[in-house]
Structure formats: C-alpha cells, structure tokens
Amino acid sequence: MPQGPSFWFDTRIYLAVTAALLLVICFYNPYAAVLGAVLLYALYLYGWERYTSRQKEINNYLETVSHSIDTAAVQAVNNLPLAMVIIDHQGVIYWRNNLFAEWVNNPAEPGQLLGKFWPNLAVDKIAGKDGRIKLEADSHYYEIIHCAVDNSLTVLYISDVTAMESDRLAGCRTQTVLAYIQIDNYDDALTGLSESQRTAVLGEVNRLLAEWITELDGHLKKYSEDTYIAVLNRCALDRLMTGDKFDILDRIRSIQAGNKIPVTLSIGAATGESSVAELGQRAQAGLDLALSRGGDQAAVNISGKVQFFGGKAKAVEKNTRVKARIVAQAIRELIEQADSIVVMGHTGEDFDSLGAALGVAKMVHHLGKQVRVVVSQPGLAVDKLSELLLDYEEYRELFISPMQAALLVNAKTLVFVVDTHRPELVAAPDVLAAAERTVIIDHHRRAETIIANTLLVYLEPSASSASELVTELLGYFDEKLELNRLEASALYAGIVVDTKNFAVQTGVRTFEAASYLRRAGADPTLVRHLFRVDFETIKSRAAIIETTEMPYEGVTIAICPADVKNAQVVAAQTADMLLNIEGVRVSFVLFNTDDAIGVSARSHGDINVQVIMEKLGGGGHQSVAGAKIRNASAELIKAKIIELVDSYLKESGIHESNSAARSEKAR
C-alpha cells in the first residue's frame, strides 16, 4: 500500500536538520556550505516530486478500494439470503433486492403495490412500524421483520421459514388437545322457558358448537345435557389463542331464542407432552378453574401453564341458598370442634375484610369461644374500627398483630381467611403457613394461586363482597344470633366499599343482605363516620387527579405522588372518582407501595379490567381490579397499561365504534 502524507512531513524534518548543519559548516567553510545548499535544494525538489507522485498513487488506490466496497455492498444486498423490500406508507415498493423478485416470481418494479404480490399481507399494520410478523403466501411461510427507517419508509427483511414452519405444523398436527366444555348456567338460563324454547336454546348451542369444532377440524361429543368433550390438534388451539381468542364464548352468549339470561360456556383445555390420562385431569382442572372464576371463559393448560380467555360476562348470581345454609352448618361444626380460632383478611385491610372478619368473630362468640383477628398493620380502616371496638367489652382485645398471632397459633388452630384466597395476599402469611385447619370465605374470581389443604372453601365470585357472604352465613348460622350495632354496621360498610355504594357488583342477594343488616341495627350514620376522611386525603385525591391523562377516548390514567399517606386507599378512591367523569369508561391510578408499584383499575363493566390487570400479574373483578408490579417504574407501567388497553379496545372493537361515533357526530 502507498505511504501516506506523513512521508512529506518526515522528509521536511530531515531537510530542516540538514539546513541547520549547513549553517554551522558555513561558519568554518563557506564554499563547502554553498555546495551543500545546492545539494540540499536538489534533495528538496526530489522529495517533493516523490511526495506528489505517491499522493496520486494513494488517491488511485482509495478510489479502487471504495469502488470495490460499493460494488461488494450492492452485490451483498442484492444477493442476500434474505429478501429486502423498502415500502412507503401506502405499501408502494420503493426498492427491492433480487431475491424478492425471485420469490414473488415477478420483476416487482418500484412503484408497484406490495399487496399486489402478497394480498394476505396487512400492509397498514406494518408500514411505519417496528415489529415482526409471519405470512403465508403461495404455499410458503415467511417471517417479516419490519423497521420504520424515517417518517415515510419501512424496510422489510423477509426470510423464507417454510421448512421450519412445516416441521412445526407437522408436530402440532399430531399433538392432541383435550377440552371439556360446559354450559355453566344451564339451570339459570333455562328456568321459566317453555319446552320448545328450551329445545331452541339448546339446539342453537349444539349448532354453534358443532360449527365451531368443524371450522377447527376437531371432534365434538355431547355426553350430558350441558357438557361436551372435544378433541382438537395443537394448530387449532394456537389459532384460537392467537386469532379469534375463543369468540365462540361471545357467539354462545348472544344466543337469543326466548332466553332472558344469556347462555354462557366454560371451557377447560389441555395439551403438552403428557399422557392422555394427564391431559384429561388437566382439562377437568381447567374447567373447574374457569367455573370458579365466574364462568364464561376458557382456561387453557399448556404443559402445566394456564392461560385464561374470555370472562366478559358478569359472574351470574346463583339463585340457590342451599349452599350458604350447608356452609353455615359446616362452619358451625368446625368452630365447635376447634381449640383456638383466628381470623385474617388480606394485607392492607379494608372495611370488607374487617367487616367479614368481625362477622366470623361474631359466630365464634355466639358459640361461647374466644377469637382473635390478625391485622397486618395499622391503616385507615383498622384505626377507625379499633376506636369503635373499645366500646364493646368482648372486642377490646380482638385485633392482634401477626407477631402476637404467631405465639397463639398451632397446628390445631382453626384459621379463617376472608376476602382473599391467595396465600401471598393474606395479612399474616407465616401464621397461615403454621396452620393446618383453614377455611376460606371469599368473593374473588379464583386466581391461579389458592391456599392449599383447606377444610372448606366458600368461593362465590357472584357475591359483591366477603361481607355479603358472611352476612348470609350469619343468617343461617343460628336463628337466635343477634348482631349488635357495630357488627351490623361494619358488615354493611364492607358491602358499601366493594359495591362502590351499591353501584357495581350488586345482585338481589346484595340488597337482601343489606336489608338484613339494616334490620339488625346497621347504622348509616356510623357507616358514614367510617368513610369520613381528613382534609389531607381530599388534597391527595386532588393531587392525583391533577396528573390524569386521557390517552384514548374514555380511558383515564393517573399517578399518585410519592408522598401521599395511605396511598392504596386514596388511589382506589380516586380511581372510583374518575369514573364519574362524563364519557370515562375506564380508569387506572398508579401508586407507590413499600416494594412495588400498585395499580387500582376501575370500569363501568363493559371493559373487563380484571383481564387487563391479570396481564400485569394482578387480578380482581370485571369492574374493580388491581395489580402490584415489582422492579419497574411507574412511567414504564403506565406505558404498558396504555398498550394493553389499546389491544383490548382493538380486540373488542371499541376503538372502531368510538371512531364510527365520532364520524357520525361530524356528519
């Protein structure tokens, strides 16, 4: 390679040093110095000549190299084993490499529409966006990575994954999926119908199910009036999970053949590298889980991991009180047999868990036994109730800390857990772990985790609150049982909290429980006192509202400032308040806890916030839900929620109906 510009710089240094030596020689012998100067000048001319000719060589060399690199780059892009296409926002081809033309078997000149070659490709979903999609075209499968390069162009890197996809499809065609399907509200939906109406409803369910299974290339067998078994392959299940997301649930729910109550389905499906016997067990467990979460949903178990789909209908209130009566009797027997009894709710107790706990304490006292309620820490609700309990001799030492409870509890202690069934959410996890005799009374939809080895689980997602359930149990416990003013008011306050003052989650049984409590002495003035808040709380709510943003029509999201006291309750109250704004359909408020960011989510019921919160590891109910997320900032969680809401609104068609309504208004 030719030498660079430093050569001329070096030469000039040598010449300068020689000139300096000539000056010294001049002092001793001027003739020799003149001769030396002539020689030096000749050397300078020679050096300059060499330098300029080398410069020319370098320039030629660089031109040759860069030309080779350009040619190599163009060749590399044109002959990539990946196809590349650059399109504009309308999907017009701006540039493509040779491989793309080869794959579509057409010159695919710039200016043509990409959709002309691949009509299946939803260009509007990729133009201007970053992401990755799969495409099936002309008996080939392609994976497309799309990157928006500036405001107008998108580069598509396309690989042919036909061989890989064929292997996967061959594998999934042979993997079996077993599903149990049940009409989960058979009695309620068919009660009061004439024989011909019943036949019409059931005929429609059969027809829709048979049609659905045929579309999926599966097999369906009805094995009782309201239950079916289906066998599919894994490809069909994947299509259900990624595509229409079990829209059969919606189709069944919209049957109108004389029925006043919508018919709903629950599905338990299982697949994975397991034996058929194991698949059967998992499918049955999935169906039980779907039913215990309130029905109208599918629980899919893939190699032991469960995912839920659907769950749009409200959990339907069961008419029968038989269960409440049987549970009340069972609880009575368990209390009679127990040596010591402890009750706990969820951590960060509210009036529902405390009201329900007080109701259970009443049952124990009624049988002449001692009871303690473990509370996780002081809080708004605990403080208010503790103050009022002082007026009642029998309740002065009712509340104890988890540390005190740990000394009291042994394997024989009967532990009641109310208003939660998740072991990680209870007020005193260590106390629960030490107990071997546990009873759960809860109104939440069944979560994936549930306290194990229980004596009795009374889980009724159709009930408004744990306080409603305990009130009913008190009614069947003993007709001689009489509540005092505080017990009745605390239970009433529990119902008020969870129903947002009888606005959500209410059924006939909620109002019956409320009127039972009112008759038993529940005092609205006392309840009002329980909910009264200080000036600081009102200011905190205003501070949260100040941060509210509306990323989409009807969607509000706010962040609670870090220094707010009792942040969880204040955030929950503010999320409730945001729903009172005209046009708001869903609200989210984020708040700080000791070790995580909490979210309170609310809706009027048409948007299922439970489904959205479950995607963040939380839960709750259709219109009241929440989550706690560790190791992420509030801003990041906010962005994630906005993304989840966007997908939810798109999937349920709410975005489209909003924009249709807008254009209707504009006209």
Ligand X SMILES: Nc1ncnc2c1ncn2[C@@H]1O[C@H](COP(=O)(O)O[C@H]2[C@@H](O)[C@H](n3cnc4c(N)ncnc43)O[C@@H]2COP(=O)(O)O)[C@@H](O)[C@H]1O
Measured from the CB atom, the residue of 226 and 576 that comes closer to ligand X is 576
Q: Give me the sign of the Cα torsion angle 399, 402, 403, 406.
A: positive
Measured from the CB atom, the residue of 286 and 461 that comes closer to Mn ion is 461
Measured from the CB atom, the residue of 234 and 509 that comes closer to Mn ion is 509
**How far is Cα 475 from Cα 363, in angstroms, rounded to an integer?**
10
Which partner from the list Mn ion, ligand X, none does 619 bind, CB cut-off 5 to 8 Å by kind?
Answer: ligand X
Report the candidate in 471, 415, 424, 474 with the shortest Cα–Cα distance to residue 443: 471
| Binding positions for ligand X, 317-376, rule CB under 6 A | 350, 352-353
Q: Give the nearest residue (CB) to Mn ion.
A: 352
Measured from the CB atom, the residue of 338 and 497 that comes closer to ligand X is 497
Measured from the CB atom, the residue of 170 and 538 that comes closer to ligand X is 538
Which partner from the list Mn ion, ligand X, none does 362 bind, CB cut-off 5 to 8 Å by kind?
Answer: none
User: Smallest gap, in angstroms, from Cβ of residue 633 to ligand X?
Assistant: 18
User: Smallest gap, in angstroms, from Cβ of residue 514 to Mn ion?
Assistant: 15
User: Smallest gap, in angstroms, from Cβ of residue 264 to ligand X?
Assistant: 21
**How far is Cα 85 from Cα 584, in angstroms, rounded to an integer?**
43
Q: Give me the sign of the Cα torsion angle 234, 239, 245, 247.
A: negative
3-state SS of 583-636? CCCEEEEEEECCCCEEEEEEECCCCCHHHHHHCCCCEECCCEEEEEECCCCHHH
In the numeric block, the tokens 């800390």 are attached to 401
3-state SS of 420-487? CCCHHHECCHHHHHHCCEEEEEECCCCCCCCCCCCCEEEECCCCCCHHHHHHHHHHHHCCCCCCCHHH
3-state SS of 228-266? EEEEEEHHHHHHHHHHHCCCHHHHHHCCCCCCCCCCCEE
| Contact pattern for ligand X over residues 552 through 581, marking x by CB under 6 A | ----------------xx--xx--x-----
Stretch that binds Mn ion, among 71-79, 465-473, 574-582, 642-650 (CB under 5 A): 465-473
Q: CB count, 10 Å around CB of 16?
A: 9
Interface with Mn ion includes 460 (CB under 5 A)?
no
User: Smallest gap, in angstroms, from Cβ of residue 494 to ligand X?
Assistant: 8
Cα distances (angstroms) measured from residue 153 to each of 50, 78, 84, 217, 289? 50, 19, 13, 41, 48
Element at 226 (helix H, strand E): none
User: Smallest gap, in angstroms, from Cβ of residue 420 to ligand X?
Assistant: 7
DSSP, residue by residue, 376-393: SS--HHHHHHHHHHTT-G
Interface with ligand X includes 628 (CB under 6 A)?
yes
User: Smallest gap, in angstroms, from Cβ of residue 536 to Mn ion?
Assistant: 25
Contact status, residue 82 vs residue 103, Cβ threshold 8 Å: no
Interface with ligand X includes 85 (CB under 6 A)?
no
**How far is Cα 175 from Cα 161, in angstroms, rounded to an integer?**
21
| Contact pattern for ligand X over residues 407 through 446, marking x by CB under 6 A | ------------x------------------------x--
Phi, psi dihedrals of residue 177, rounded to the nearest 5°: -120, 130
Contact status, residue 443 vs residue 331, Cβ threshold 8 Å: no
| Contact pattern for Mn ion over residues 348 through 377, marking x by CB under 5 A | ----x-------------------------
User: Smallest gap, in angstroms, from Cβ of residue 503 to ligand X?
Assistant: 12
Could you tell me the maximum CA-CA distance found in the chain, to the nearest angstrom?
139
User: Smallest gap, in angstroms, from Cβ of residue 346 to Mn ion?
Assistant: 8
**How far is Cα 157 from Cα 486, in angstroms, rounded to an integer?**
69
Question: Among 627, 637, 641, 645, which residue interacts with ligand X (rule: CB under 6 A)?
Answer: 627
Question: Among 184, 419, 487, 614, which residue interacts with Mn ion (rule: CB under 5 A)?
Answer: 419
Report the candidate in 571, 643, 565 with the shortest Cα–Cα distance to residue 600: 571
Q: Give the nearest residue (CB) to ligand X.
A: 626
The dihedral region occupied by 376, where left means phi > 0, alpha psi between -120 and 50, and beta the remainder, is alpha
User: Smallest gap, in angstroms, from Cβ of residue 531 to ligand X?
Assistant: 6
Interface with Mn ion includes 468 (CB under 5 A)?
no
Q: Give buried/exposed letters for 138-161 (b at 16+ CB in 10 A, else e).
A: eeebbbbebebeeeebbebebebb
Which partner from the list ligand X, Mn ion, none does 585 bind, CB cut-off 5 to 8 Å by kind?
Answer: none
Measured from the CB atom, the residue of 342 and 527 that comes closer to ligand X is 527
**Residue type, position 248, single letter:** I
Instruction: State the number of binding residues for ligand X (CB under 6 A).
Output: 23
Interface with Mn ion includes 498 (CB under 5 A)?
yes
Structure tokens at 433: 């772990």
Measured from the CB atom, the residue of 336 and 424 that comes closer to ligand X is 424
Which partner from the list Mn ion, ligand X, none does 349 bind, CB cut-off 5 to 8 Å by kind?
Answer: none
Question: Among 146, 498, 516, 638, which residue interacts with ligand X (rule: CB under 6 A)?
Answer: 498
Instruction: State the number of binding residues for Mn ion (CB under 5 A).
Output: 4
Question: Among 431, 626, 641, 645, which residue interacts with ligand X (rule: CB under 6 A)?
Answer: 626
User: Smallest gap, in angstroms, from Cβ of residue 560 to ligand X?
Assistant: 12
Residues that bind Mn ion (CB under 5 A): 352, 419, 465, 498
Residues that bind ligand X (CB under 6 A): 350, 352-353, 419, 444, 497-498, 531, 568-569, 572-573, 576, 600, 618-621, 624-628
